[in-house]
Structure 1
Amino acid sequence: MTDVSITLLVLVVVVAAFVWNRLPVEVVALGAALALYGTGIVGLEDTFAGFGSGTVVLIAALFVVAEAIDAAGVTTWLGSLLIRFSGTSRSRLMVLMMVLTALLTALISVNGAVAALLPMVVVLAVRLGRRPSELLMPMAFAAHAGSLLILTGSPVNILVLNAAVETTGTGIGFFEFGLVGLPLLLGTIGLTLWLGPSLLPNRTPEALPKDLGSHGATLMTHYLGDDRLSRLTIPAGSALVGQPVACFQEDDDGGHLHLISVQKPDGKPSTLATFTAGDDIVVRGGQPRIDTFAARHGLTQDDNATCGLISSSYGVAEVVVAPRSNLVGTEAYPGMVTESGTLVVLAHQHPGEQESSGRSLITAGDRLLLQGTWSALDQHTVDHNVLLVDSPDTIRRQTVPLGPRATPALIVVGIMVVLLATNLIPAPVAALLAAMAMVVLRVVTVQQAHRSMAWTTLILVAGMIPLSTAITSTGTAEILAEGMVSVVGGGGPLLLLVGIFVVTAVLGQLISNTATALIIIPIALSVAQESSINPYTVLMCVSVASSAALLTPVATPANMMIMQPAGYRFGDYWKFGLAIMALYAAVAILLVPVFWPLQT
């Protein structure tokens, strides 16, 4: 067999394996690379070149940046703005949601934006009495359109940029993708408002994500009943300064007030025996009694804290004592500092009983409400002795908009966008610097950065690069291009664009759009060379067609993400997807040549 025959055979097997969808896509991609090496089509260095490519580094760095934006509370803040301004109007809700999704996608990719906004949109649908199926497909399709607003919107954009640089010596501008991305976004919004009510599926999901937006109030009612928990700050002139903590007593005037804890402003327990200016005291009692006590001693209540439980600096975690836990038989009481010295027990509750206000022994199944800094909660609630009800990280992301690290996160993203837009340094270097800055500035931990990696995407890109290389180096791309030219070339360059769009779009419904781009780009460039067409025109046509992954849930991870929360079925995507696909075809075939003329 010739090198071309072997390459074509590997290509056919890879596409068939992707469509079959029984093997992990990572295995298929890596198997393709190893098959090419085993048959001698590519050398050892080329086989693994993808794992050291700047493309993979850039994509990985953007995953970390996306995680940092979400961890800093930026997406929560955007969600709160959406709820505030959308009201009950369907049209306003759709427009704002889709614009927000597209803008976020432009910065952190389709999958990152959909993953970040999915819980918020589902909760929004429930709060407004709408089905999630009404909102989630428009959100995903807006993300696809938003991926073409700027360079960072999609790995495909990066592949197209690299191909343009290698072919012509010059790239595509950071904002140049927006020439097609903006019409796609506006058209998608218009079609959603016009055809959405009749074409969008009306489904009911089996289960909905947990809404933690009012988590503080829920915990307050569950553990404290009619009482309230408040956080009071001791100013320098307060009569409490210097008084012994042990002598605190407020049970006169027909009311009562319990001192639960003395903490530093960041939520860390104080180890001093006396009250100190600047400390916060956590008290429990009726709200009128708390107000009276605060006024008497000149204390200020933290209005930014949710029910005295959650703020940007500290939060709470609810844990259940596990069977055979080492904690069984030990003593607990409200205000007790845990063994780590960083968390305070706010409440202790036996199964089926009211919260215990005094000392009591812990039994299996008991519930403990713990408070401390977010980092302390993350670190010390992962313990085999207890079962965590809701992770502190999840609570923080849903309840704390614009957390303490939001400012450095936004500054880093702004600098990264400027560097990418101006090409002062290579794109992988700019993104990697941004990702490193997010870790150094503690916007995300190293562990969170590791977890943010979408390894499927990274391995897929790295594994498919050798196949893309082989398609070019063996002359396979030229042969396929000649075949396409011989079939549709007589109809002129515009018909060639139609052929490129159809092949790319159809393949993109069956396999990853990133994998599709890696396969089609060398073929499209050969078509451009064979027919003397501007390579930028065919590359942008491929970029638009690759983003038109709209007809099946397996086309992109974002399509798959929304399937279960919305209750969609496999065949629900094509009805509305075809309408949007027609828009993509019009942009790719008619509008792309306007900005990138067919003839150079």
Structure 2
Amino acid sequence: MSLDAWIALSVACAVFPLMALTRLGPDMVLMGALVVLLSLGVIDAEQALGGFSNSGLFTVAFLYILVASLRDTGGIDLIIRHVLGRPSGERHALSRLVWPVTAVSGLLNNTPVVATFIPAVISWGRRFSIAPQLLLMPLSFASILGGTVTLMGTSTNLVVHSLMQERFPDLHLGLFEIAWVGVPMALVGVVYLLVVTPRLLSRRPGSEEAFANLREFTIEMEVDPQGPLVDRTVEEAGLRHLSGLFLVEIERGGNVVSVVGPGERLKGGDHLVFAGTTEGAVELQQMRGLRPSRLGESHLEKEFRERRLVEAVVSDQCQFIGQKIRDGHFRTLYGAAVLAVCRGGRRVAGSLGQIRLQPSDVLLLEARPAFIERHRQSQDFLLISQVNGQARPAFDRALRAWAILATVVVLASTGLMSMMNAAMLGATAALLSGCVSVRSARRGMDTQVLLTIAASFGLGAALQTSGAADVVARGLLSVVGDSPWALLVGTYCVVALLTSLVTNNAAAVITFPIAMAGAESLGVNPLPYVVVVMFAASASFLTPIGYQTNLMVMGPGGYRVQDYLKLGGPLNLLTAVVVLVLTPFFWPF
């Protein structure tokens, strides 16, 4: 083996533990690897920067803009509102959640899908007394399963597909072609979640229960004189059994009704005074027929105008990990005060100032409105959600955003345009039609994911051109023999193991040249190995760090590492069996 091959292999071996065991971001680790390989002459500048001009990378970027358009227009909220509905029990609630999430994730990147669903699912579960543990992990897993159904369902599929086209120009996979394996895999996975989840996941309080009644607000609302609540009783208006809210009194024409009975009829212009939590206030503002009080400055307006209550999930990249909140000057750096910390679904003992932050901690923050915009894409936080409401989406453009996405799917699936050109056209249409602003589109791009993908190409090129991939492939063949099926199993196991420890894109791109070298050595069709790399890289159910959506739901759901092993371990085995049995059937060796 040449010196360049040894260097490339050593750098690749160093990359995985650095990403798994340190707080360095995967983009920084892989960019550092590129610098080392370029400095030592293992790859040239063109190979090092080749990933930044890859069509798969640009396709992912354009799709991020389409997802941002659906988020800003409330396109995903439209599905949530019409699909979740009123469940009759826990299994019915799971069914109403996982099926649509799986379907939507086949067309949209699953990370923003999960980010959109988390606050809605928590509120929905609270309304029907369903523990968050039974909903949030299945939400993450269903999004992962759905992402494997099409090429555009996850960035990993697009990246591996572009690698295949570069190495084998004659090979081609249609947009929905991998659905031959993806749909059975998703069906088996969803049925498993519906049957097993209520039995395996214990019901512990999640973050929303830990924060319940942390502060109680006086909330004033006015009955819209032109709204549907006029002349209806309190009971008929649905104001008697609101979650986290209690109707204290009604102010009407200068008089106060202090004892409000269920038969009290509402009049236009009535001022209703509630006591309740911020979550209850959000539900109250979304009720048709009520509007914020306009007589003077209400307590609600003062609280909402001057400050915001924000829930933020701490990332493993946060610079305050391991530090005390007080010693780290959290408020000075972020302009936000920590009101409470939730870890694993429970309050953390001791004073707030003495708590040392850990990854996936959920913080309840008091911050000014600019905090959300400033830190929404920050690496320090995985998820930031405004507890007391968000800017109302442009719902009138939601159907327009969905129509643009549908057009992209049709153009790409029929072959009229390449995936990149269709996504580029769709992103342009979304911007020109007002479905998303330039600022929001820029903010919607996950630069860490894009940098990770681009840098991974350089490392993969180093393994291929230096001959290291061929050497590793020959070593793998000496273990599995000359059996194409054994090589397929070995490839799946290696990629699935790596994706549980590091990012799925990095695991796929770095192992791709090794798998292809093995297929070429056996003289067999490389297509089944391409498909297996796609599915194995996405099948990350074992750990919270293996996939970003898993870490996003860990804190809000109050999960522990063993919860992922209990529910995700058997799911990993089931999906592996489905993929390994069906792949050679549809793409023979």
Cα deviation for residue 198 of structure 1 reads: 2.5
Which residue of structure 1 aligns with residue 564 of structure 2?
Answer: 573
Which residue of structure 1 aligns with residue 410 of structure 2?
Answer: 418
Which residue of structure 2 aligns with residue 116 of structure 1?
Answer: 116
Report 1:447-596 matches (<5 A). Answer: 447-490=439-482, 492-596=483-587
Per the alignment, do residues 414 and 395 of structure 1 end up closer, same or farther by CA in structure 2, a change over 3 Å counting? farther
Which residue of structure 2 aligns with residue 129 of structure 1?
Answer: 129
Report the AA paired with residue 44 of structure 1: A
Cα deviation for residue 201 of structure 1 reads: 4.2
The answer to whether the 8 A contact 1:256-1:289 is kept is no
Report the AA paired with residue 188 of structure 1: G
Q: Per-residue displacement from partner, 1:143-200 (whole Å, max 9, x unpaired)?
A: 1111111111011111222233231523101111111111111111221222222322
- RMSD value, Cα: 3.3
Q: Which moved more, 1:119-128 or 1:552-561?
A: 119-128
Which residue of structure 2 aligns with residue 349 of structure 1?
Answer: 298
Cα deviation for residue 50 of structure 1 reads: 1.9
TM-score normalized by the length of structure 2: 0.73
Per the alignment, do residues 210 and 366 of structure 1 end up closer, same or farther by CA in structure 2, a change over 3 Å counting? closer
Which residue of structure 1 aligns with residue 334 of structure 2?
Answer: none
Report 1:35-114 matches (<5 A). Answer: 35-84=36-85, 86-114=86-114
The answer to whether the 8 A contact 2:18-2:29 is kept is yes
Which residue of structure 2 aligns with residue 15 of structure 1?
Answer: 16
The answer to whether the 8 A contact 1:524-1:538 is kept is yes
Are 1:442 and 2:466 matched, yes or no? no
Q: Per-residue displacement from partner, 1:374-398 (whole Å, max 9, x unpaired)?
A: xxxxxxxxxxxx9449989969997
Which residue of structure 2 aligns with residue 597 of structure 1?
Answer: 588
Cα deviation for residue 10 of structure 1 reads: 0.6
The DSSP-based 3-state class of the residue aligned with 1:405 is helix
TM-score normalized by the length of structure 1: 0.72
Report the AA paired with residue 185 of structure 1: A
Q: Distance in 2 between matches of 1:389 and 1:308?
A: 30
Per the alignment, do residues 83 and 305 of structure 1 end up closer, same or farther by CA in structure 2, a change over 3 Å counting? closer
Which residue of structure 2 aligns with residue 261 of structure 1?
Answer: none
Q: Distance in 2 between matches of 1:155 and 1:388?
A: 32
Q: Distance in 1 between matches of 2:534 and 2:287?
A: 45
The answer to whether the 8 A contact 2:150-2:177 is kept is yes
The answer to whether the 8 A contact 2:16-2:502 is kept is yes
Are 1:222 and 2:214 matched, yes or no? no
Cα deviation for residue 289 of structure 1 reads: 5.1
Gaps of 5+ in 2: 228-251, 255-264, 271-284, 307-366, 374-384
Cα deviation for residue 402 of structure 1 reads: 7.6
Q: Distance in 1 between matches of 2:209 and 2:503?
A: 27
Report 1:270-349 matches (<5 A). Answer: 287-288=266-267, 306-307=287-288, 347-349=296-298
Q: Distance in 2 between matches of 1:54 and 1:89?
A: 46
Q: Distance in 1 between matches of 2:45 and 2:160?
A: 25
The answer to whether the 8 A contact 1:349-1:368 is kept is no
Report the AA paired with residue 479 of structure 1: V
The answer to whether the 8 A contact 2:220-2:299 is kept is no
Cα deviation for residue 486 of structure 1 reads: 1.1
The answer to whether the 8 A contact 1:223-1:347 is kept is no
Which residue of structure 2 aligns with residue 326 of structure 1?
Answer: none
Q: Distance in 2 between matches of 1:453 and 1:389?
A: 19
The answer to whether the 8 A contact 1:65-1:413 is kept is yes
Residue identity over aligned pairs, in percent, reads 29
Report 1:169-188 matches (<5 A). Answer: 169-188=170-189
The answer to whether the 8 A contact 2:223-2:290 is kept is no
The answer to whether the 8 A contact 1:162-1:171 is kept is no
Report the AA paired with residue 62 of structure 2: A
Q: Per-residue displacement from partner, 1:63-105 (whole Å, max 9, x unpaired)?
A: 1111111221122121122332x52232232222111111121
Which residue of structure 2 aligns with residue 150 of structure 1?
Answer: 150
Which residue of structure 2 aligns with residue 403 of structure 1?
Answer: 395
The DSSP-based 3-state class of the residue aligned with 1:523 is helix
Per the alignment, do residues 26 and 201 of structure 1 end up closer, same or farther by CA in structure 2, a change over 3 Å counting? farther
The answer to whether the 8 A contact 2:495-2:537 is kept is yes
The DSSP-based 3-state class of the residue aligned with 2:148 is coil
Q: Distance in 2 between matches of 1:210 and 1:151?
A: 40
Cα deviation for residue 542 of structure 1 reads: 1.1
Are 1:163 and 2:163 matched, yes or no? yes
The answer to whether the 8 A contact 1:482-1:527 is kept is yes
The answer to whether the 8 A contact 1:10-1:32 is kept is yes
Gaps of 5+ in 1: 212-217, 233-254, 258-285, 292-303, 311-315, 317-333, 335-344, 356-364, 370-385
Cα deviation for residue 52 of structure 1 reads: 2.5
- Alignment coverage as a number of residue pairs: 469
Cα deviation for residue 415 of structure 1 reads: 0.9
Q: Distance in 2 between matches of 1:28 and 1:38?
A: 15
Q: Which moved more, 1:401-410 or 1:586-595?
A: 401-410
The DSSP-based 3-state class of the residue aligned with 2:84 is helix
The DSSP-based 3-state class of the residue aligned with 1:36 is helix
Report the AA paired with residue 575 of structure 2: Y
Cα deviation for residue 498 of structure 1 reads: 1.2
Cα deviation for residue 7 of structure 1 reads: 0.3
Cα deviation for residue 58 of structure 1 reads: 1.0
Per the alignment, do residues 173 and 397 of structure 1 end up closer, same or farther by CA in structure 2, a change over 3 Å counting? farther
Q: Distance in 2 between matches of 1:290 and 1:160?
A: 60
Cα deviation for residue 367 of structure 1 reads: 6.9
Q: Distance in 2 between matches of 1:518 and 1:597?
A: 23
The answer to whether the 8 A contact 1:71-1:397 is kept is no
Report the AA paired with residue 60 of structure 1: A
Per the alignment, do residues 231 and 172 of structure 1 end up closer, same or farther by CA in structure 2, a change over 3 Å counting? same
The answer to whether the 8 A contact 2:456-2:509 is kept is yes
Q: Distance in 2 between matches of 1:19 and 1:290?
A: 59
Q: Distance in 2 between matches of 1:389 and 1:500?
A: 47
Q: Distance in 2 between matches of 1:170 and 1:346?
A: 68
The answer to whether the 8 A contact 1:191-1:580 is kept is yes
